[in-house]
A and B are shown apart, each in its own frame.
Chain A
Amino acid sequence: QVQLQESGPGLVKPSETLSLTCAVSGYSISSGYYWGWIRQPPGKGLEWIGSMFHSGSTYYNPSLKSRVIISVDTSKNQFSLKLSSVTAADTAVYYCARHYCSGGSCYGSLSWFDPWGQGTLVTVSS
């Protein structure tokens, strides 16, 4: 059974970089699938941040692309999110998820997120 677990600081100062890691168990990242990040501000809806294949192919939400880096570490079977120049608007629960993308394309194709990690709250405040 595939399980994902997010970890990282719960508090980040404005203008700094938010860094999170998602540890994957029960499946080898290098075996396939994209791996993605989604966030949810308190009391609000879901926003996709970006997804990455183990070989390096990435998709980023254009609204965040200039500030986001997603990377994969196959030796540790984990992937990471870095979001720079954060503001209070970046306060959210951050989820990692396996991103199934048929035919190797995550858009214009059948794709979905499953399973998800439990999520981790990151607050941006001084």
Chain B
Amino acid sequence: DIQMTQSPSSLSASVGDRVTITCRASQSISSYLNWYQQRPGKAPKLLIYTAFSLQSGVPSRFSGGGSGTDFTLTISSLQPEDFATYYCQQSYSTPGTFGQGTKVEIK
């Protein structure tokens, strides 16, 4: 299985901060990488697919980048509703695996 490792596991930030989360795959996955947001007690929500494509309805402050083994999710100006846990997921090979999550908390 392809291992997905996110860093950091958690971070504290203030409203308005720029935040970047990293996801590293154990082997090259081209651009087959998605990002999800999970608010407490809620289901995950697709934010970005194929590494950099913004899902319809997702605010433009979210952006994704990278290819191969290293990927990033950036929130340009953190908003109160963005405090959540973020997961990356690869679809390069079965089984599709998720990162362990990055929890974004209020400073």
Interface: B34 (CB within 8 A): yes
Inter-chain contact B98/A45, CB cutoff 8 Å: yes
Known: A46-B44, A46-B89, A114-B55. A63 touches B32 (CB 8 A): no
* Interchain nearest-CB distance for A68 vs B (Å): 12
B44 and A110 within 8 A (CB): no
Contact with B along A16-51 (1 / 0, CB 8 A): 000000000000000000000000000001111000
Contacts of B44 in A (CB 8 A): 46, 95, 113, 116
Instruction: State which size class the interface on A falls in.
Output: 20 to 34
Provide the residues of chain A in CB contact with B94, threshold 8 Å. 59, 61-62, 106-107
Q: Please encode chain B, from 72 to 97, with 1 for each CB lying within 8 Å of some chain A CB and 0 for all others.
A: 00000000000000010101111111
Contact-residue size bin, chain B (C-beta under 8 Å from the other chain): 20 to 34
Q: How far is the CA of A113 from the CA of B89 in the complex (A)?
A: 10
The listed residue (B42, B46, B97) touching A114 by CB distance below 8 A is: B46
Given known A-B contacts A46-B44, A118-B43, A119-B43, A110 and B96 have beta carbons under 8 A apart:
no
| B64 sits at the interface (CB 8 A) | no
> Given A45-B87, A117-B43, A119-B43 in contact, is the A112-B49 Cβ separation under 8 Å?
yes
Task: Decide: A109 and B95 in contact? CB cutoff 8 A.
Answer: no
Q: Which residues of A contact B92 (CB under 8 A)?
A: 107-108
Q: Which residues of A contact B (CB under 8 A)?
A: 45-48, 59, 61-63, 95, 106-119
Task: List 12 other contacts, CB 8 Å, given A111-B32, A112-B46.
Answer: A46-B89, A46-B101, A61-B94, A61-B95, A95-B43, A106-B96, A107-B91, A110-B32, A110-B91, A113-B89, A114-B55, A116-B43
